[in-house]
Amino acid sequence: MLGNGLEVSSIGYGAMGMSQGYGPGPDRQANIELLRAAVDRGVTFFDTAEVYGPFVNEELVGEALAPLRDRVVIATKFGFAIDEAGRQSGVDSRPEHIRVVVEASLRRLRTDRIDLLYQHRVDPNVPIEDVAGAVGELITAGKVGHFGLSEAAAATVRRAHAVQPVTALQYEYSLWFRRPEGEILPLAEELGIGFVPFSPLGRGFLTGAITRDTAFADDDMRATLPRFEAEARQANEAVVDLLRRKADDKGATPAQIALAWLHAQQPWIVPIPGTRRLSRLEENIGADQIELTADDLREIDEAAAAIDIRGARYTENAERLTNR
């Protein structure tokens, strides 16, 4: 359950990787079949954005889920300036732009409503009150169900929520990136807002499938991220070793422990791992069956506190778009 009574499955599905970020993947039909397989296995919460591709990810999600529309909650995002050719040039959350983006997203998603609409990144040139007001008008019009924010600062969230109640906050959060614990998670609890961690498996690193020797394709975003440089990966393997030890105790996998740890933090936390493989989808869903006791959580936290995570999660330019 997220904020404002929005009911979703305890594990969602982040669709971005089907269209960008991780190099070549399965063909379109295979992706459609995987999205539908997720619904068949109880996943009801799907996350996309206009900028993924751009545009093609919304089209993919729309085609896959149109026959199942009444069984799913679809989240998408606005906030970037993107021309018709897909070229991105900064952020844009002007109310008139939001309205145009929503109409285009509705067409691509083959639906008459967006269940959860996030501002993808805060636009410093547009007061957040204006953004919240514009989304509120779309909610009143029935085109949007709920309002969300992604990677916004706590003060920004509070200002937005005063104008239009925020249902969900989306941030990167996992055992190897815990910044939201400082201000955002306490704020979410205070205001009754749900929390949606993206990259809950550390862009694949916390599954144990990536080592210091892994070679990334040129079009794999991890090839450009400081945290995935070879020396950083070698140091950060300590986190995977921690997850693997607990997984062995529980008869689980490192990925399942990483997701179960997130679930154990708060009942209103709904991670959205992405995958392009059915076996990984079923593994992620299986995290629901893993119970971590208070002793388990204490052991994990004590061991994690002794690990010095190496490397920034983003490049400097990308990080500038967050926490504002």
Inter-residue contact 258 to 174 (CB < 8 Å): yes
Structural domain includes residue 192: yes
Q: Residue 85 — very low, low, confident or very high, per pLDDT cuts 50/70/90? A: confident
Domain around 176? 3-204+265-290
Q: Residue 118 — very low, low, confident or very high, per pLDDT cuts 50/70/90? A: very high
Inter-residue contact 13 to 176 (CB < 8 Å): no
Q: pLDDT tens across 290-319, in order?
A: 999 999 999 999 999 999 999 999 999 999
Structural domain includes residue 216: no
Nearest one of 118, 23, 112 to 80, comparing CA atoms: 118
Q: Residue 145 — very low, low, confident or very high, per pLDDT cuts 50/70/90? A: very high
Average pLDDT of the chain, as a whole number: 97
Structural domain includes residue 146: yes
Structural domain includes residue 152: yes
Structural domain includes residue 259: no
132: CATH: 3.20.20.100
The pLDDT of residue 24: 85
Mean pLDDT of the 264-281 span: 98
Token pair recorded at residue 10: 């305890």
- If phi over 0 gives left and psi between -120 and 50 gives alpha, with beta otherwise, what is residue 45? beta
The pLDDT of residue 23: 87
Question: pTM score, two decimals?
Answer: 0.98
Domain count, the chain: 1
Lowest-confidence pick of 38-42, 86-90, 126-130: 86-90
Q: pLDDT tens across 233-271, in order?
A: 999 999 999 999 999 999 999 999 999 999 999 999 999
* Residues annotated catalytic, as ranges: 52
Residues 6+ apart with CB under 8 A from 153: 122, 323, 324
The pLDDT of residue 21: 92
Structural domain includes residue 304: no
pLDDT greater than 90 at residue 86: no
Structural domain includes residue 7: yes
CA torsion, ordered 256, 313, 125, 89, to nearest 10 deg? -100
Structural domain includes residue 83: yes
Q: pLDDT tens across 158-168, in order?
A: 999 999 999 99
Question: Percent of the chain, pLDDT > 70?
Answer: 100
SS (H, E, C) the chain: CCHHHCCCCCCCEECHHHCCCECCCCCHHHHHHHHHHHHHCCCCEEECCCCCCCCHHHHHHHHHHHHHHHHCEEEEEECEEECCCCCEEEECCCHHHHHHHHHHHHHHHCCCCEEEEEECCCCCCCCHHHHHHHHHHHHHCCCEEEEEEECCCHHHHHHHHHHCCEEEEEEECECCECHHHCCHHHHHHHHCCEEEEECCCHHHHHHCCCCCCCCCCCCEHHHHCHHHCHHHHHHHHHHHHHHHHHHHHHCCCHHHHHHHHHHHHCCCECCCCCCCCHHHHHHHHHHHHCCCCHHHHHHHHHHHHCCCCCCCCCCHHHHCCCCC
